[in-house]
Amino acid sequence: MLAIARSELIQIFRNRLVLATMIIVPLAGSALYMYLNDRAPGLFDLGAIASVLMFLVVVMALYTTAVTTLASRRQNLFLKRLRSTAVDDVSILTGLLLPVTAVTVVQVAVVLAVLSVVADAPADPLLLVAAVLTTMVMMLGFALATAGVTTSPEHAQVTTLPIMIGVLAVSGWVGFTGTEELTLVKRLLPGGSASELVVNAWNGGVPLADSLFLLAPTLAWVVVAVALASRVFRWEPRH
C-alpha cells in the first residue's frame, strides 16, 4: 500500500494539470475570499467564509483529483495489474487515494490557519477538525462513485461537475444564509450539515450536542456514496 501511495505522490507532482487543480485553483479562490474579507471586514460571516474555503479546497483538490486519478489508472490498466497482485482491493484504493488525501489535509490546514491569523481563531478547533474529516470522507465516497461512471480522465471534467457544483452551492447557501429557514432541506443536502457544523465550530455559541448531531447527515451520505460505489465502480476500462 505504501509503495502504491509513494508512486502516486510522485505522479501527482509530475502532472501539471492535476497539480494546478489541486493546489493553485483552491488556494487562489481562498486568497480571493480572504482579500474580500480584508477589504470589507465584517461584510461576510467568518464561519461562512471558513466553510466555503474548506469546501472549495476539499472539492477541487480531493474530489476532482481522486476521480481523475482513478479514471486514469483504470484506463492505463494499472488498476487491473494491481488487482492481479497479492494486494487486496481496499489497500489498492487506499494507496491510490492516500497521497491526494494527505495533500488536501495540508491545504485545508494551511488555509484555515491563515484565516484564523488574519481574522479570528475558531471557537472550537476539535469540532472543526471533525467537520473537515467527515467532509473529506464524504467526498472520497462520492469520488469512488463518480469514478465508477467515468470512462477516462478527460471524461472526469464532465462527470465531476454535478457533485462539484452542487456541493459548493449548498455549502455557500447554508454558510451564508444559515438554517433558520428550510432547515431540514438544507441539512439533508450533501454538504449542508457539514457547512453548518463548520460555521458553528468557528463562530461558537451553539451547544456541543446540537453540533455533533449535524455529523449524522454527512455520515449518512458516506454510506450512500460507498454503497453506490460498490455497485458501479469498475477495475477495468469501461467501453
Model confidence over 127-150: pLDDT tens digits?
A: 999 999 999 999 999 999 999 899
- Determine the angle formed by the axes of helices 192-203 and 125-148, rounding to 10 degrees: 160
The closest of 105, 91, 106, 103 to 2, measured between CA atoms, is 91
Q: Report the predicted TM-score, pTM, of the whole model to 2 decimal places.
A: 0.88
pLDDT band at 86 (very low <50, low <70, confident <90, very high): confident
Distance, CA of 72 to CA of 208 (rounded, Å): 42
Inform me whether the pLDDT recorded for 236 exceeds 90. no
pLDDT given at position 220: 94
Q: Give 9-28 as a 3 state SS string.
A: HHHHHHCHHHHHHHHHHHHH
Cell numbers found for residue 198: 463548520
At residue 207, the 3 state secondary structure works out as coil
Q: 58-68, pLDDT tens digit by residue? A: 998 899 989 99
pLDDT, position 47? 87
For residue 34, pLDDT beyond 80: no
pLDDT, one tens digit per residue, over 223-234 is: 998 899 888 888
Question: CA–CA separation, 93 vs 88, rounded Å?
Answer: 9
pLDDT at 42: 58
Sequence length of the chain is: 239
- Work out the percent of the chain whose per-residue pLDDT is above 90: 36
Instruction: Say if residue 9's pLDDT is above 90.
Output: no
Grid cell for residue 162: 454535478
> What's the pLDDT score for residue 18?
62
pLDDT at 20 over 90: no
CA distance 91 to 100: 15
Q: Residue 43 has what pLDDT?
A: 58
Concatenating the DSSP letter of every residue in 162-181 gives: HHHHHHHHHHHHHHHH-SSS
Please give the average per-residue pLDDT across 79-91, as a whole number. 83
Q: What average pLDDT does this structure show over 165-171?
A: 95
End-to-end CA distance of the chain: 28
42-46, 88-92, 209-213: segment of lowest average pLDDT: 42-46
Separation between Cα atoms, residue 17 and residue 97, nearest integer Å:
17
* Model pLDDT, residue 142: 95
Residue 168 pLDDT exceeds 80: yes
Residue 33 has pLDDT above 90, yes or no: no
The three three-digit cell numbers of residue 141, written as one number: 465516497
pLDDT number for residue 188 = 94
CB-neighbour burial class of residue 123 (10 A; exposed 0-12, middle 13-18, buried 19+): middle
Helix segments in the chain, DSSP class H: 2-14, 16-19, 25-39, 46-57, 64-75, 78-83, 89-118, 125-148, 156-159, 161-177, 183-188, 192-203, 208-213, 215-232
User: Mean of the per-residue pLDDT values for the chain?
Assistant: 85
Residue whose cell numbers read 465584517:
42
